[in-house]
Amino acid sequence: MGGHGRARGVSPAISRKVPAHSMLAIALLWNRHMGWIPPGDVLEVATKLARRAAELDDLDPWVHVALGHLAVVDRDTERAVHSFDRAIGLNPNFAAAIGWRGLALSFGGRTDEAIIDLERSIRLSPQDPQNAVFVAAIGIANYLAGRYELAIQFAEQTVQMRPNFVGAYRIYCAALARLGRLEESRGMLERVLRLQPNATLRLLQETVPYAKPVDMEHFLDGLRRAGLPEA
């Protein structure tokens, strides 16, 4: 996955702790997003981990990836892009950071910019296991742009790569519903609920970080049409 930068004046022991703190923060945030753990205090723990990593070594690219993820969760697209730009500045070949910037842009509704970043990241590192996330984010961007057939195409590609990727099934379901393919969307909703039994519109509004209310409503409307309950 790359991403290691230079650590000036940082001991080897601390240098090893920094990416561990950052990656744990990222993992916790993604578990929250995917519905694998309750929201609870996860955000507070992840915030402490990422900030501690920044205190230990501000020149480690993973620090800024973790801070970028926190900004995405806060629905602050500009801050997220700034953090991912810092990571890329520290390691211009950090393909994953380019992909995560694309994800932030997708959730921020900047769909065309997002797709450019996401496609570039996949080209730079075609075997990266994180690419399923970036393919899913291309689906998100197409969904928000109203290109529902393409959203389905990329969601389907994602679940072929990762069969339990609930976020891709959610976009798949919403896109089918927006196309009026309600019977298919209800079948897809059953898959969502098998992977995330506690999913409701209220929970997804809390944990899926669309930055703009209009985009959040666009997303929830598709799932509402498919039959996902409000609470």
pLDDT in tens, 182-207: 999 999 999 999 999 999 999 999 99
Supply the Cα-derived Rg of the chain in whole angstroms.
Answer: 17
- Report the chain's mean pLDDT, rounded to a whole number: 90
pLDDT tens, position by position, 52-88: 878 878 888 988 989 999 999 999 999 999 999 999 9
- pLDDT score for 40: 67
Across 1-5, 152-156, 226-230, least confident range? 1-5
Q: Residue 221: pLDDT above 90?
A: yes
118 or 32, which is more confident?
A: 118
pLDDT tens, position by position, 140-188: 999 999 999 999 999 999 999 999 999 999 999 999 999 999 999 999 9
pLDDT tens, position by position, 18-55: 778 888 888 888 777 777 777 667 878 887 888 887 88
160 contacts: CB under 8 Å, gap ≥ 6: none
Query: What percent helix, strand, coil does the chain show, rounded to 5?
Result: 75, 0, 25
Nearest partner of 171 among 156, 187, 193, judged by Cα: 156
pLDDT category of residue 119 using cuts at 50, 70 and 90 = very high
Which amino acid belongs to residue 93?
A: N
Mean pLDDT value across residues 215-220: 98
- Predicted TM-score (pTM) of this structure: 0.87
Euclidean distance between CA atoms 175 and 147, whole angstroms: 9
